[in-house]
Amino acid sequence: MSLTTLEWRDNAIRIIDQTCLPRKLVYLEIRNIKGLSQAIKELKVRGAPALGAASSLGVYLGIKNSPAKNFTQFKNELDKVIAYLGSSRPTARNLFWGLEQARQAALANQDKPVSRIKELILQKALEIIKIDQQSCREIGKYGAELIKDGDTILTVCNAGILATIDYGTALGVIYSAKAQGKKIKVFACETRPLLQGARLTAWELLKNGVDTALICDNTAGFLMRQGRINCVIAGADRIAANGDAANKIGTLGLAILSQYHKIPFYIAAPSTTFDLNIKSGKEIIIEQRSREEVVSLFSRQPIAPEGVKVYNPAFDVTVHELISAIITDKGVLRPPYQENIKRLIQ
């Protein structure tokens, strides 16, 4: 099934509105940065790589009508747009990478007319889309080598087509293994509180003919104990220089369970998710989200008593000691991560 999560079309960012899935496949056109920031906050567009493409296109949306006459004026506006979009969500490295790429495209061409710099920013954003498409295929290729015919894979959240442009990272590995003719089964953790596993991963895997079963998050340990999981593959929002990886809340628990049960635990992510400026996962800013997400089902039905305290971090950090390998677009990284990341990613 061919599906495009995000594209540049008719002077707008066209996205699949992920809050409508699995009920309806709805596309949304975003024409200004306010709309984009809102869509990012509400997870209409989400997943680290998709956020990288969205943020860079967002910079273009923010500056395309700029009346600036010279580079100094233009840069002033550019920096405001970048700061605004950067405040949408804090954890995904790609969102900031997309912004930095757009800024770099402007700085490297400051001698050119403002109208040309605008075009070059758009060009850079379109390149980012291509880079994502290519790197997901590479991740799929490298990752599929780790998967045997008949394997059953556990995954969490959505690191698939819907988190990238059109293929996925963790799910890209599954699509690639399937395309090689391997028979694969997947257990998808539902991923409370926003159910990206149930709503998005189960939806796209079924659409692509992957044998999929949905589990409540708290079923994972029991499945592993029964010997029914061959490996776990998760995506990442940000990976530190030592290999610590932030991903959807619950990923750390799966990694600890995997180690106990001696099951390989893999992270799949493009090189654009690595943040070599931070030494360890302790420096990763973890987004805190609203209490509403936990105390009610999509703000519709209350499932907790009014007034209860809530702690709702959107992500956790899996320490590198628990990660068997990191599948990247440049190859598969194994411990010792610090030096291997330096060698392969830098």
Residues known to be catalytic:
237
Contact 202, 189 (CB under 8 A): no
Which residues touch 32 (CB under 8 Å, ≥6 apart)? 61, 62
Contact 298, 290 (CB under 8 A): no
Which residues touch 202 (CB under 8 Å, ≥6 apart)? 22, 188, 212, 214
Tokens matching residue 256: 């600890």
Name the 3-class secondary structure at 238.
strand
177/314 with CB nearer ligand MRU:
314
Q: How far is the CB of 106 from ligand MRU (least distance, A)?
A: 27
Triad 124, 126, 129: Cα angle to 5°: 115
Sign of CA dihedral 44, 47, 48, 50: negative
Beta strand 211-215 with 185-189 is parallel
Tokens matching residue 180: 């090689």
Interaction site with ligand MRU (CB under 6 A): 43, 46-49, 92, 157, 159, 163-164, 169, 196, 235-237, 247-248, 314
78/268 with CB nearer ligand MRU:
268
Per the listing, tokens 């780790």 go with 146
Contact 24, 35 (CB under 8 A): no
DSSP-assigned states of every residue in 164-198: SSSS-SHHHHHHHHHHTT---EEEEE--TTTTHII
H/E segment holding residue 134:
helix 114-144
172/331 with CB nearer ligand MRU:
172
- Rounded CA separation 266/235 (Å): 9
- Rounded CA separation 310/41 (Å): 19
49/62 with CB nearer ligand MRU:
49
Sign of CA dihedral 212, 193, 319, 94: positive
64/141 with CB nearer ligand MRU:
141
41/261 with CB nearer ligand MRU:
41
118/217 with CB nearer ligand MRU:
217
